[in-house]
């Protein structure tokens, strides 16, 4: 640990068989350091080939080798080109967007499949020109099977188009600037996180990068909108270049609302107070262990993950005030600090980043892989459905009953007094299931524990859990209070936490959480709801890391009484979010459970309509890699060039504070400079770089790019 703290990055054990590399690597992993450990030889591999292989491994970790000692005599060495190894290519990193013109459909083939789907034997026989009676009989025998196959294929194709995953990809080496920061930066940190390594590390990293750092340490009683605005007014005219918030590191419960983290409430208050105090600098929110960027990167804090859900909504509601989200390693070191400040200085439009030992990675939405086979999951014993008497819970209960669940336990706060509960119970019993409708507020830990104890005493401990309880939200961040957040968090997050803690994991077949896409890409007016659902997604990942079963499905819009009301559903439809038929949504749920997914986003999105609206105020690299989004946002050839007189840029700059105008204008200039020089992007052009004579004249010349 001492050597790691001093900056050593490679440990080589010189021995005939490595015995120290395992504990050394474990120490490295525990500190989240980018260091590595290697051996020299191995048991039964003591020859020169093994030694040279080890030297090659050391070379890939940056060790300079004595080539003359390795290869004595006269040798000619050739320097390899650098760009490939820097992962900066002069070609696109994705396939070209395919032509979207619809292919011509064979009319005969279309009529054939229409007849198959309708099981219209007469028309099908006519299309196939089958006149023989016996042949027609044979065709009639196979028609139902063919029709069923056709419907299943169409159904599977539809569901495949609804399935999405979240992934992370590295920023290309050289994308982030090396020139550091400038100006005055404000670091806001809670007293409750004073012992966190990044509490002091953030200020040190910013200072090392060249920033003038001012710190604002806040006690629990100061995490209110009014108190923060008062403190921030001290910096209103100070020309702040940026604000970094460490409030999210505080996972303690709010003093008045134990279901809500104090750091999350403080972040909402900070966003509000920045506007009240007239601070125009962008806000960057920091977490540590709130996201998992890959299989070997465990998510440590579902509580901090809530800030990521909230932040995605802040980006939509306060596009000019929001910088982004950055997740940091548990331990601070100068390398991680440098990557952190580089992200602050030159992330461009990227606003969801994580600093890891391998570099800086960014969050992306991708289409999930297609499901090739019809795998099936069968419920056993008792299935517990929270929110079971609601619309979505009812659909889930019917599916479980049809699939053979022996005993269904449906919970709601009102039990059988809930509207339609009696009718639902009778319907499920007709399907063959024994049904218990229990009045249980899952936000109440004692109530959940009591219900589970009763079931265990009867020998009916749940074999599967479906957590569908929760309430929706439509409320702008500007007026949101801790009490508003607590109301949304109740059954959603507290209920999930209680189930995670209290349900006996031994013998549990499924633990399914009903999340929302508001926590995946955000939604205006859904700040608390997005945070709560991000918690569910993170909880599923955390359970998996503990070796437990867990599936979180982030849903889009359900038809037939989902979370959204009729007016809201119509508004979302116009924006490109179509309500999913309950039977198809349940089929997607069945797939997710059968394939033991940890996380899956399921939504019927018309990206051609959704993407332009979603990115109208702020770009969204998160969805930008989807081919449909690239097509939707592709600039037509006839579109006016950015920077032209009277363009949208002039209107965009006119309503912004001066500091923000300068930042956006700088990004525009860097973008055109990068285009002229052939760089990968604007981030590769250092903000403070002088204009060399060798290309200054080229920049001043009129350009077909509108530069």
Say whether pLDDT at 88 is over 70: no
What range does the domain containing 494 cover?
382-561+579-602
328 and 560 Cβ atoms separated by less than 8 Å? no
Token pair recorded at residue 666:
């700088």
Let me know whether 51 and 120 are in one domain.
no
Q: Write down the pLDDT at residue 118.
A: 80
Closest CA to 36 of 515, 358, 519: 358
Residue 589 has pLDDT above 80, yes or no: yes
Res 141: pLDDT: 77
- Please tell me the number of Cα atoms within 13 Å of 319 on its side-chain side: 15
Given the structure tokens 């990227």, which residue do they identify? 350
- φ, ψ of residue 630 in degrees (nearest 5): -60, -40
Tell me the two tokens of residue 572: 């979302």
On the CB side of 501, how many CA atoms lie within 13 Å of its CA?
13
Residue 288 domain-assigned?
yes
Domain end position, chosen among 50, 70, 90: 70
- Listed in sequence order, the residues at least 6 apart from 217 whose beta carbon sits closer than 8 Å to its beta carbon are 189, 190, 191, 194
Burial environment of residue 71 by CB neighbours within 10 A (0 to 12, 13 to 18, 19 or more): exposed
Determine contact, residues 117/150, Cβ cutoff 8 Å: yes
Residue 598 — pLDDT band, cuts 50, 70, 90?
A: very high
Radius of gyration of the chain (CA): 29
In DSSP notation, 447-503 reads: HHHHHHHHHHHTT--EEEEEE-------B-GGG--HHHHHHHHIIIIIHHHHHHHHS
Mean pLDDT of 252-260: 92
* pLDDT confidence bin for 464, thresholds 50/70/90: very high
Assigned domain for 642 exists: no
Query: In this structure, what is the dihedral angle of CA atoms 345, 349, 352, 353, given to the nearest 10 degrees?
Result: -40
Whether residue 501 has pLDDT greater than 70: yes
CA–CA distance, 577 with 65 (Å, rounded to integer): 57
Do 204 and 157 reside in the same domain of the chain?
Answer: no
Distance CA 566, CA 579 (A): 11
H or E stretch including 108?
Answer: helix 107-118
- Which helix (DSSP H) or strand (DSSP E) does residue 465 occupy? strand 462-467
Last residue of a domain, one of 51, 70, 89: 70
Hey, is 598 helix, strand or coil?
coil
Do 66 and 138 reside in the same domain of the chain? no
Q: Quick one: how far is CA 422 from the chain centroid?
A: 39
205, part of any domain? yes
Mean pLDDT calculated for residue range 474-490: 93
347 and 391 belong to one structural domain: no
63 is written with which tokens? Answer: 């060790």
Q: Which of 78-92, 335-349, 562-576, 654-668 has the lowest mean pLDDT?
A: 78-92
Burial of 179 (0-12, 13-18, 19+ CB in 10 A): middle
Q: Is residue 179 located within the same domain as residue 250?
A: yes
Query: Where residue 534 sits, what CATH number does that domain have?
Result: 3.40.50.720
Give the bridge partners for 38, in sequence order. Answer: 12
Q: Which of 333, 353, 373 represents a domain boundary (last residue)?
A: 353
For residues 687 and 591, membership in a common domain is answered with: no
Q: Give CA separation, 231 vs 218, 236, 322, 576, in Å.
A: 10, 10, 19, 42
Label residue 567 by pLDDT band (50, 70, 90): low
Residue 640 falls inside a structural domain: no
Residue-wise pLDDT for 268-322, tens only, equals: 999 999 999 999 899 999 999 999 999 889 999 999 999 999 999 999 999 989 9
Span between the terminal Cα atoms of the chain, in Å:
51
Closest CA to 553 of 564, 540, 562: 540
User: Do both 58 and 176 map to the same domain?
Assistant: no
Contact yes or no for 87/173 (Cβ under 8 A)? yes
Could you give the CA distance from residue 468 to residue 342 in angstroms, rounded to a whole number? 41
Within this chain, do residues 130 and 246 fall inside the same structural domain, yes or no? no
Rounded Cα distance, 516 and 161, in Å: 17
Please tell me whether residues 245 and 281 are part of one structural domain: yes
Residue 135 has pLDDT above 90, yes or no: no
Q: What percent of the chain has pLDDT over 70?
A: 84
Q: How many CB atoms lie within 10 A of CB 688?
A: 10
In a domain, 612, yes or no: no
Which run of H or of E encompasses 269? helix 262-276
Place of tokens 């205006």: 524
Least confident of 157-166, 209-218, 367-376, 452-461: 367-376
Q: Assign residue 247 the CATH number of its domain.
A: 3.40.50.11460
Q: Which of 192-201, 297-306, 518-527 bottoms out in mean pLDDT, i.e. has the lowest? A: 192-201
Is the pLDDT assigned to residue 131 strictly greater than 90? no
Q: Is residue 425 part of a domain?
A: yes
Domain membership of residue 116 (yes or no) is yes
3-state secondary structure of 327: strand
- What are the pLDDT digits (tens) for 20-58? 998 998 899 888 788 889 999 988 888 999 999 999 999
- Tally of domains in the chain: 5
Determine the Cα–Cα distance for residues 306 and 508; give it in Å rounded to an integer.
26
- Do 409 and 472 fall within a single domain? yes
> Is 35 a member of any domain?
yes
Q: What is the pLDDT of residue 641?
A: 45
pLDDT of res. 649: 64
User: How many angstroms separate the CA atoms of 707 and 703, rounded?
Assistant: 6
Assess whether 136 and 180 both reside in one domain.
no
Does 213 lie in the same domain as 267? yes
């Amino acid at each position: 640990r001492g050597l790691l703290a001093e900056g050593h990055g490679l440990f080589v054990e010189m021995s005939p068989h490595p015995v120290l590399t395992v504990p050394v690597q474990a120490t490295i992993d525990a500190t989240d350091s980018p260091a590595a450990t290697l051996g020299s030889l191995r048991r039964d591999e003591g020859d020169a080939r093994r030694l040279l292989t080890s030297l090659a491994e050391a070379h890939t970790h940056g060790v300079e080798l004595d080539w003359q000692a390795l290869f004595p005599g006269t040798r000619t060495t050739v320097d390899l080109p650098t760009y490939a190894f820097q992962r900066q290519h002069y070609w696109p990193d994705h396939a070209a967007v395919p032509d979207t013109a619809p292919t011509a459909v064979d009319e005969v083939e279309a009529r054939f499949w229409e007849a198959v789907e309708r099981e219209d034997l007469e028309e099908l026989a006519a299309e196939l020109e089958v006149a023989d009676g016996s042949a027609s009989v044979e065709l009639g025998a196979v028609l139902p099977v063919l029709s069923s196959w056709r419907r299943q294929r169409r159904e599977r194709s539809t569901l495949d188009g609804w399935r999405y995953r979240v992934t992370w990809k590295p920023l290309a080496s050289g994308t982030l600037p090396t020139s550091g920061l400038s100006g005055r930066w404000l670091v806001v940190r809670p007293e409750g996180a004073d012992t966190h390594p990044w509490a002091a590390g953030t200020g040190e990293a910013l200072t090392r990068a060249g920033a003038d750092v001012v710190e604002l340490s806040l006690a629990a009683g100061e995490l209110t909108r009014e108190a923060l605005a008062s403190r921030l007014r001290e910096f209103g005219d100070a020309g702040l270049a940026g604000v970094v918030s460490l409030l999210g590191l505080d996972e303690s419960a709010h003093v008045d609302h134990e279901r809500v983290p104090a750091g999350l409430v403080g972040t909402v208050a900070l966003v509000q107070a920045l506007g009240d105090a007239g601070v125009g600098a962008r806000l960057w929110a920091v977490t540590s262990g709130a996201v998992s960027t890959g299989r070997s990167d465990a998510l440590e804090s579902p509580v901090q993950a809530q800030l990521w859900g909230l932040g995605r909504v802040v980006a939509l509601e306060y596009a000019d005030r929001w910088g982004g989200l950055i997740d940091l390693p548990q331990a601070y070191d100068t390398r991680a600090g440098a990557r952190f400040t580089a992200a602050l200085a030159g992330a461009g439009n990227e606003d969801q980043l994580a600093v890891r030992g391998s570099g800086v990675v960014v969050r992306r939405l991708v289409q999930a892989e297609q499901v090739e086979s019809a795998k099936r999951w069968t419920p056993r014993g008792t299935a517990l459905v929270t929110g079971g008497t609601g619309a979505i819970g009812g659909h889930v209960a019917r599916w479980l009953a049809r699939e053979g669940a022996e005993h269904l336990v449906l919970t709601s706060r009102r039990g059988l007094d809930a509207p339609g509960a009696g009718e639902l119970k009778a319907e499920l019993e007709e399907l063959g299931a024994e049904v218990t409708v229990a009045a249980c507020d899952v936000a109440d830990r004692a109530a959940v524990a009591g219900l589970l104890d009763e079931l265990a005493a009867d020998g009916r401990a749940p074999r599967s859990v479906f957590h569908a309880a929760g309430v929706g939200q439509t409320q702008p961040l500007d007026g949101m209070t801790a009490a508003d957040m607590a109301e949304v968090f109740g059954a959603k997050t507290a209920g999930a936490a209680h189930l995670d803690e209290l349900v006996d994991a031994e013998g549990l077949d499924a633990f399914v959480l009903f999340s929302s896409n508001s926590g995946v890409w955000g939604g205006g007016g859904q700040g608390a709801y997005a945070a709560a659902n991000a918690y569910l997604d993170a909880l599923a990942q955390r359970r998996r890391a503990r070796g437990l079963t867990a599936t979180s499905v982030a849903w889009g819009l359900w038809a037939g009484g989902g979370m959204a009301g009729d007016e809201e559903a119509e508004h979302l439809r116009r924006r490109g979010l179509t309500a999913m038929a309950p039977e198809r949504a349940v089929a997607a749920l069945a797939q997710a459970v059968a394939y033991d997914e940890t996380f899956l986003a399921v939504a019927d999105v018309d990206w051609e309509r959704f993407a332009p609206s979603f990115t109208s105020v702020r770009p969204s690299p998160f969805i930008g890699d989807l081919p449909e989004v690239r097509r939707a946002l592709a600039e037509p050839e006839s579109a006016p060039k950015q920077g032209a007189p009277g363009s949208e840029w002039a209107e965009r700059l006119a309503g912004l504070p001066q500091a923000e105008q300068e930042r956006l204008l700088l990004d525009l200039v860097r973008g055109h400079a990068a285009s002229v020089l052939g760089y990968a992007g604007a981030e590769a052009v250092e903000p403070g770089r002088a204009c060399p004579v060798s290309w200054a004249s080229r920049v001043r010349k009129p350009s077909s790019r509108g530069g």
